[in-house]
Structure formats: C-alpha cells, structure tokens
A and B are shown apart, each in its own frame.
Chain A
Amino acid sequence: MGTLTMITSLAPTTSDDLSHFNTGCPFSATNSPGRRFRRLLILVAALMLSACASNPYQPLIDNMTAVKARAESQKMGEIRVNVAVPSPEETMAIFDLPLYDRGVQPVWIEVTNGGATQLRYAPFGTDPDYVPPFEVAYTNKAGFSKAAHRKMERYLHKHTMPRTIEPGQVQSGFVFTQARPGTKGVNIDLFGPAAEEAYSLLFFVTVPGFAADHAQVNFEALYTPAEMAEFDLPGFRKALTTLPCCSSDRSGGREGDPLNLVLVGNGDDVLQALLRAGWFERLAAEQGTSSTAEAAYLYGRTADAVFRTQRPGTGPRSELRLWKAPMRVDGKSVWLGDAVHYIASPDEPNALDPDIDDARDFFLQDLWYSQGLAGFAWLQGPNVVSIEQPRQDIMGANYFTDGYRVVLWSSGKPVSMLKADYISWDKPPKR
C-alpha cells in the first residue's frame, strides 16, 4: 500500500523534475548533442527514481545474541574489552542492509571501564577509513522511503560505539570499518586523561564464512615425526643450503620461481605478523582461481598459504606463497616461500615484475615497519640470473635475481624496528 503510493507519487514528477537540470546550464539547450545527452540523463534519472521504492527498514538488534556469545575478550588493568565481528548473513539480520556487499564490515565492541577516569575510544585507531553511521545510512538509502531512511539513521547512530566511557560504565556498539575478507585484525585504542592511561589492545577475530586457505591444511599431518628435522642456529644455516632452490610445476619437470624467503615462526606468530603488516589471507573459496599461485609445487603440493597486498584501485600488488618445511629451528616452524610483485597495469592485470629481489626486499621491509620482524639474515645462493639474460618461470614470466635468500624470524608481538636482530651470515646483497 505504502509502496504503491510512493511509486505513483514519484512517477509523474519524472519529467518535471528533470527540467531543472537544464535551467542552469548555458550549453545544454542549444546543442543537439546536448539533447541526446539529456535523453541519456532522463534514462539514468528514471532508473534512479524507479529505485526509490519504499521497502520497510526492519533491523533487529536481538540478532546480536549469537555474535556476542562468541566475542573475544581481553583485560588490561581495570579495563575489559570484548570484540566480535558479525558475518555477512548476521550483518544482514542485524542491520537489514547488505553492508559487506558495499565494502563495509561492522565490528562490535564492548568496553568496561573499571577505572576511576573517563576513557575515550578512538575509532580512527581501529580503522582510519571507518565510516560514520550517517554515511552508512546515506549510501544505503536506495530502495527505502524517506521515513525508512530516517529510521535507518537513528538505528545506526544509536548502535554506534560511543567515544566516551565514563568510570564504572559499560559501553558497547559498532564501528563500521572497511571490509576485509579473512581473519579480521581489530585494534582498540583507549585514552584516559593521563599519558599512562593509554591502552592499546589487538584482536584477531575469525569471521564465520571467511575461512582462509591455511585453515584447510592439517599442518600436524603434513610430516611424520621422523620426517621432521630439528636444528639449532648453526645447524639451521647449514640445512638451508640443502633446501630446493625453486618451486616446480606439478610434474616436477619444469623449474619455477626461486624460493628466496625463509620464514621462522609458529603459525600464529607468522599469521599475526602478516595481518599486522596489512597482508590479506587467500580465502579457501578462492583456491584454484589464481593461475600463478596454483601452478607452483613444492614437496608435491601447492602452497599451504597464500597472502596478498593490494594497491588501492588497481588490484593485487604483491603475492606471498608459503610452504611449511620439514624442519624446526630452536623449536620453531620453518616456512619456505617466495614473493612476487604484480605490475599495476590495467591492460595486463596478471603481469609480474621480473625484479623478484625487490619483492623479497619489500617483504623484509614490510615486516620490519609493521614491527613483525624479530631478526633476519642473508644467505648467498648460486643461482644468479642477470637482467640481460632473464630466466622464465613456470608461467613463462621473466625474472632475474641476485640469488640471495633472506631468512626472517617473525614475531606475533610487536617488536620495535630498532630491536630486530641482524644475524650476520652472508653479507647483504649489493645492488
């Protein structure tokens, strides 16, 4: 009934409303291309108007029960913080909006202030590109009536995490972040009046429906205890020289990219370091979609985990492929892999940068800057490939390299850039 009124009241206004598009434009009325353009406009406007149906807005905060139940909790002094991230389906049920489809991911936060002073929560620290509630409402108002849009504004505003938490108070609500698939890193910064009352808590939240590729791998079952070799540091250095130089194609007949990264760290440490450095997990559902990542084999299987970075607007920038190696050093897992840069070319989206050393060095710097690097060392290898005579990988892409391999000790806990240990094995590569 309401819907019908809305449509009929809008329909006749279409042509009238459009007339004022022209009033201000000194060009449009006098040119025939202008008229043609106007016709296009009318079409566009008609389409836009036809979208103005009046769906009721029916969100339900009660749908939060299951989400809250799986919230992760951390305590720091007198402060307790709970964090949970609703899945796309849960988001739809709670907000009556397909926010994930619009690139927005709601994060639920609850802060208990057991201290004696007021705390300020800074959404900027969770995501510098967070979207405030009125913008979420504005960008999602298509298909809703004016009244429904108002209702939506109020609802989103009401359920947004407030900035102020008084002493003794519990505050909860959402911050609307940029959506990212996979495990969600959520940073919560709280500030009291004094410098020593600044709290920073980091959560890694699993979101239903976004299983990462590595979650599908049973790492315990990859190798038998007999296959696993244990090393101390000097033994490790020696053992690294016996590792395969490169990945290969499925049959093992054709050599692929040099494996120029060795990462040391247990799974969780490696994952936290990578997430903090802004790398995205490859989702299990994406497996089989990237030809380059699928083509490379080591230990008779494709990579156990693939991570990527993005260049805004142009797509993937770098890709990291990791295989768990059958060795441990000082009780920590060892990962063998390689990194490549994609070229930000709109014409050839899968073009690879032949300078694979830069991708390797970028990964080192990236971990370093994001405080995920506990130490590193260089190892010289025999496989020098000159820029003049590049080699081809499995997919036929050119590469050249100085033959060096970098060994990185990752840290899940932030390590100051100045505290990363430089282990002097071989001299660093000279460019």
Chain B
Amino acid sequence: MMRLNMTKTIRYPENHLLCQAPGSIFAMLLLFLLAGCASVEETTPETSATYLERAQTQSKGPIRVTASVPSAKETRELFGAPLYLRDIQPVLLTIENQGPSTLNFLPVGVDPLYFTPMETAFLSKKSSKGVSDQARARQFYNEGMGAVSVLPGETRTGFVFTSLDEGTKTFNVDLLSERDKIHSFTFFIPVPGLRIDHHNVDWENLYPADEWLEFDESAALIEALKNFPCCTTDKKSRDQGDPLNLVIIGDIEDVYYAFLRAGWDETETIHAGSLQKTIASFFSGGEYRYSPISGLYVFGRPQDVAFQKTRDNIHERNHLRLWLSPVRYQNVPVFIGQISRDIGVRFSKWTITTHEIDPDVDETREFLLENLAYSQTLTAIAYVDGVGKATMEAPRKNLTDSPYFTDGRRVVLWITATPTSIADIKVVEWRDPTDN
C-alpha cells in the first residue's frame, strides 16, 4: 500500500526529483525511512560474473595491462568495509612488462585524487569490526599499489583506491619507460549496480527500416537539420520546452565514450533504488552524481541518453539529453539534443519547485563545445539554424516557465574516438556568416 503511494510521489513532479518541494521532502523522508537501512549497493542487481571475470586486458607490444573494478558488494567482501559508501572505488591493476626497459606506473594518471592505501584503511576503521587497526592497515598496504617501477620481465599487481564512479569506470593507466616513451591505456569498465538509461535502448529498432534517411551531401543534411523540431515537448506534444541546440554526429559508442571522457556522468533510470540514493544525498547535502533525470520528448519519445555533470551541490548541475535521429550522414548516426545549466531552484505552481536554467542557452551550448574540445573528442564543428531566435528582451519559455534567449543556432559536433588536439578541430562554414 505504502509502496504504491511511493511510486506516485516519484512521478508527481514533472521536473527533477531532487527538487521536490519542501512539502514533499517529508514524503521523501518517510520514503527514506520506509526504505529502511538498506544500503546503496543492495538496491540494484549484481551480475553473476565476478569482477575478475569482467576484467579487461589491453596490450601494446610487450606491455600488458589488465584492469578490473569490483562492485560495491564485491568491494565490501574483499576489504570487509563498504568503501563505496566512503566514495572510494578500488581498481585492480596487473602490469606485465616483457619489454627491455623499466616502466614507471603513476597512480596520479588513474586518478589525481587517489586515496592512499593507509588513508583507505583509516577511513574503513569504523565499519570493519573484528580486525585490529594494524592488521587492516597492513592488508590495505600490501594489496595497494602506489607509484611503482616494473622491471623488465616483471609483473606487478595491486589495487589503486580511486574516487567513486558508478556506472562505467573510465580511467587511464600511464606507464613511462626510461626510453622517453609514455604508454597510455584507456579503460572503460562497466560496474554493476547502476541502471543506465541507454543500456535499455534498442538502437537497432528505434525506427522502421523505411524511415531511415541517408545523406551524403551536406546540403541535404543541412536542410534536414534545419527542419528538425525547434524544441523538446511534453509527453502529449502540446507544449514546447527547451531548444534542441545540439547536433552530434558520431557512432553510438564513440559518442558515449566522448561524454564520459569529458567528465559527464551517466544517469540512472528512475526506480526505487535511485530515488533512495537521491534522497540520501539530499539530506546529507552530498553529491549523488547519477540521480535520474526527467523525460523531455522529441520524436514522440523521451531521450535515449541522458548525461549530467555535477557542480558545487546537488541543485546545480548541467543536464544533457540526446535522441538518435532517423538521419545518417555519410553512414554515421546523427543525434539531436538539448543541454541546460541549472543555476538554482525556484518555486513553481505546477511542480512545486523547479530548476531555474541559465537563460543564456547559447552560453551553455558553447560551454559544451569547449568541454568536448578540451577533452580532445571533436574533429569538426559547424552551426545550422533551426531553433529560432529569441532575444533577451523577449525571451521564450521552456516547459517549466524558465525564460531563455538564443541566436537560434544549433551547434553540430563531429565526435571522434581518437584523441584529437583542440587546434586541429575543423570549422565547417555551413551558415552565411553575414546572416545574423
């Protein structure tokens, strides 16, 4: 009975779950209490494969690196302490050096804010009972791996204690050899325990075969991009929401990894576990970087992928939603999307409270362009029309009545999987620059 009600409160506010009104904070608190003391890691399913079975190996010549990331539950079993609750995530690395020169492994490359083994032991003190402080410290110290040299013919293995990333763990393993070479390995390792939006998307069957549009010429693509809807809508396609000012051209995997590399977090689909985490973070004032994101509609469906980037606190983050369009350009998928920057919370009649977004949506758009450029994920950019101009003096409004103004352009971003220097990004002139 109570559980039924709970689902209702989940759906009630149209906007972001976290910004429930003070009035419904009580509902959340109640829900939180009802949910009891279940810990974060028990709310979502584990896969049957162990972290060792999920390990990934990469080789470059005579160097092999194997990495795996234990889930929250596995971590607790391994170390006898709920490290995930302390925002610590162990990463197990094995470095095999069959080459002729010594390799220096630098944990700062994995995470500049890594936790030392002793620090991790100290932070586990309260929760791992029945083990002496000394024994625990020894365990972490022995199993941890700091900056080490791996001599020719040697294999080193150990845990690096990193800052927590749920969902897909993204990191580099940098090995410097004495011969002035850096060997860099980039890992993307999914960690069970988080339900991600787009993992459920059936990309192949989003559109019937005869709805796909293939373009090879830029003129045809430009025309199609101009004619995409200006804005997101609500579920019934009645009201117009945020402007669709992003066009992303890239393979699905590449797009996904580009955003991870640029520091965006995946979002969870809404389910009881995620709500509970969100509430916990609301009350602790901490960051819960994966909280679910509400649905906006394009092509008659909510976003296929949502990412967010946390800033100072839970109320301030950037949201980004992408839809795979039925267009392919030179055989590469084309996404359309929307980005907004939360700048605060205000009271609203319909959703009780809502996020105020930065009305200068072009600023937010350009921020994303720079963010992706600095993380070396772009090969080219262009601008097209299609959003429609709105001035600062006569702004338009989104679905939650936040005003915005714009030059009416969409930025077109070509995504690459190969790191590309910011200076090498091609600027494609699709618009007549004199046409403002």
Residues of A within 8 A of B (CB): 17, 20-22, 24-28, 31, 33-34, 37-38, 41, 44-45, 103, 122-125, 128-129, 132-135, 138-139, 154, 157, 163, 189, 191, 193, 195-196, 198, 311-313, 317, 341, 343-345, 351, 353-355, 357-359, 361-362, 364-366, 368-369, 387, 417-419, 422, 428, 430-431
Contact = CB atoms under 8 A, between A and B. Distances in A.
24 contacts: A21-B352, A22-B23, A25-B352, A26-B9, A26-B27, A122-B370, A123-B370, A124-B371, A128-B371, A135-B344, A135-B358, A138-B343, A154-B392, A157-B360, A198-B422, A341-B119, A343-B119, A343-B123, A344-B123, A353-B119, A364-B147, A365-B147, A387-B138, A418-B180
Given A135-B358, A365-B106, A422-B178, A24 B13 contact: yes
A135 B422 contact: no
B43 to A, nearest CB: 21
B333 to A, nearest CB: 26
A237 B356 CA distance: 61
B386 interface: no
Nearest to B367: A124
Interface string B283-316: 0001100000000000000000000000110001
Contact of A132 (B116, B147, B367): B367
B122 A351 contact: yes
Nearest to B115: A344
A133 B392 CA distance: 13
Interface string B314-350: 0010000000000000000000000001011001010
A128 B374 contact: yes
B21 A21 contact: yes
B343 A139 contact: yes
A124 B374 contact: yes
Nearest to A417: B182
Nearest to B364: A132
Contacts of B223: none
- Size bin of chain B's contact surface: 35 or more
Contacts of A419: 180
B430 interface: no
B164 interface: no
Contacts of A21: 21-23, 352
A32 B284 CA distance: 24
A400 B246 CA distance: 54
A358 B118 contact: yes
Contact of A135 (B22, B30, B341): B341
Q: Which of A31, A133, A365, A431 has the most CB of B within 10 A?
A: A365
A353 B118 contact: yes
A191 B422 contact: yes
Contacts, number: 171
Q: Which of B12, B25, B356 has the most CB of A within 10 A?
A: B25
Contacts of B109: 365, 369
Contacts of B236: none
Contacts of A358: 116-118, 146-147
A195 B360 contact: no
Contacts of A26: 5, 8-9, 12, 27
Given A128-B371, A134-B360, A431-B148, A139 B344 contact: yes
A319 B337 CA distance: 44
A188 to B, nearest CB: 13
B106 A369 contact: yes
B181 A418 contact: yes
Contacts of B40: none
Nearest to B147: A361
Q: Which of B8, B363, B367, B370 has the most CB of A within 10 A?
A: B370
A70 B374 CA distance: 30
Nearest to A21: B23
Given A28-B24, A353-B118, A431-B146, A125 B360 contact: no
A195 B424 CA distance: 5
B270 interface: no
A70 B356 CA distance: 38
A152 to B, nearest CB: 13
Contact of A355 (B13, B117, B180): B117
B107 A27 contact: no
